[in-house]
Amino acid sequence: MKANMTTSTSRVWLVLLIGLLLFGCVGPPQKLTPADMSITKPEASSVVVVHSRTGNTALMGHLISEEMNSDFIRLDVPEGSQDSVLSVPNRNEDMEITPQKIDLSEYELVFLGSPIWFMHPTAFIYSFIKSNDLTSKKVVLFYAYGGGLAEKAIEEWKGLVRQSGGTVIDVIGIDCSDFETDEALQSEVNVMIERKKSIWMSDENQ
Ligand SMILES: Cc1cc2nc3c(=O)[nH]c(=O)nc-3n(C[C@H](O)[C@H](O)[C@H](O)COP(=O)(O)O)c2cc1C
């Protein structure tokens, strides 16, 4: 039953995407200031790295960072690269992002977040993973989407993390179309984090 629902939601998304492609544009990306891009926490042993266009995935990242006392980095992307559906890069394209590479030596746990575009995570988070050495890092993947995800999308994402040396210990996703306000989304994400926190901190995941 659940599988059927996922397939039909994916079909709806496919039709929507074709519509978006025909009309060529989506709403504008969030306007950001330097303060939105990076937050440093005292004694952080984890970091959140997130790509987000309209702020949903960044909101998830912020809440994780608050609860886990993680440093927070929002990836900056090349000008114009996410202005319209026609300008967004294929997920396998190598993209210049800022920062491209970070010093991960202080972190045991790395949270990597992306919205879902064309049924997959974006080229920006993929480029970050490909540019960084995740050897011996525990990794939690998180994503925001509208209900349409390719069947193998998460496996592909995990595979990239593995190729960079990391171990994915958990994956969380939020269907933002289920929430009418940021507050409702926020409280669902907080419930999710509360439920997952002990798994993320467990020594068994070394
Ligand atoms: C170019 C583009 C393609 C998208 N493709 C999908 C998709 O395939 N499946 C889906 O569920 N949502 C899709 N979405 C919706 C986003 O995943 C959703 O709005 C998400 O919450 C955006 O996260 P953000 O606010 O962090 O950018 C797409 C959005 C854009 C802009």
Residue nearest to atom 2 of ligand 1 (CA): 117
**Which alpha helices (DSSP H) does 24-152 contain, by range?**
34-37, 56-68, 123-131
98: which DSSP letter? B
What tokens does 205 get?
Answer: 């995941």
Q: Which amino acid is at 111?
A: F
Per-residue pLDDT, averaged over 47-57, amounts to: 97
- Any ligand 1 atom below 6 A from CB of 6: no
pLDDT band at 5 (very low <50, low <70, confident <90, very high): low
CATH number for 151: 3.40.50.360
**Does the pLDDT at position 25 exceed 50?**
no
Q: How far, in Å, is the centroid of ligand 1 from the Cα of 26?
A: 10
Range of the domain at 186: 2-205
**Does the pLDDT at position 19 exceed 70?**
no
Q: How far, in Å, is the centroid of ligand 1 from the Cα of 162?
A: 25
What pLDDT, on a 0 to 100 scale, did the predictor assign at position 73? 98
**Does the pLDDT at position 164 exceed 50?**
yes
**Does the pLDDT at position 114 exceed 70?**
yes
**Does the pLDDT at position 68 exceed 80?**
yes
Q: Is the distance from CB of 50 to CB of 110 less than 8 angstroms?
A: no
Q: Is the distance from CB of 11 to CB of 5 less than 8 angstroms?
A: no
Q: How far, in Å, is the centroid of ligand 1 from the Cα of 136?
A: 31
pLDDT band at 6 (very low <50, low <70, confident <90, very high): low
pLDDT band at 204 (very low <50, low <70, confident <90, very high): confident
Residue nearest to atom 22 of ligand 1 (CA): 115
Provide the percentage of residues in the chain whose pLDDT is more than 70.
87
**Does the pLDDT at position 18 exceed 70?**
no
Paired residues of 175 in beta bridges: 145
**Does the pLDDT at position 151 exceed 70?**
yes
The pTM of the full predicted model, rounded to 2 decimals, is 0.91
- Any ligand 1 atom below 6 A from CB of 115: yes
Residue nearest to atom 6 of ligand 1 (CA): 117
- In the Cβ-directed half-sphere of 202, how many Cα atoms lie within 13 Å? 11
- Any ligand 1 atom below 6 A from CB of 55: yes
- Any ligand 1 atom below 6 A from CB of 57: yes
Q: Is the distance from CB of 115 to CB of 143 less than 8 angstroms?
A: yes
Residue 72, φ and ψ in degrees, nearest 5: -130, 130
Residue nearest to atom 27 of ligand 1 (CA): 53
Q: Is the distance from CB of 123 to CB of 156 less than 8 angstroms?
A: no
Distance CA(156)–CA(159), nearest Å, equals 5
If DSSP codes are grouped into helix, strand and coil, which group holds residue 144?
Answer: strand
What mean pLDDT value characterizes the chain? 91
Structural domains in the chain (count): 1
Per-residue pLDDT, averaged over 10-14, amounts to: 70
- Any ligand 1 atom below 6 A from CB of 116: yes
Per-residue pLDDT, averaged over 126-148, amounts to: 97
Q: How far, in Å, is the centroid of ligand 1 from the Cα of 107?
A: 29
pLDDT band at 203 (very low <50, low <70, confident <90, very high): confident
Provide the percentage of residues in the chain whose pLDDT is more than 90.
78
What pLDDT, on a 0 to 100 scale, did the predictor assign at position 24? 44
- Any ligand 1 atom below 6 A from CB of 144: yes
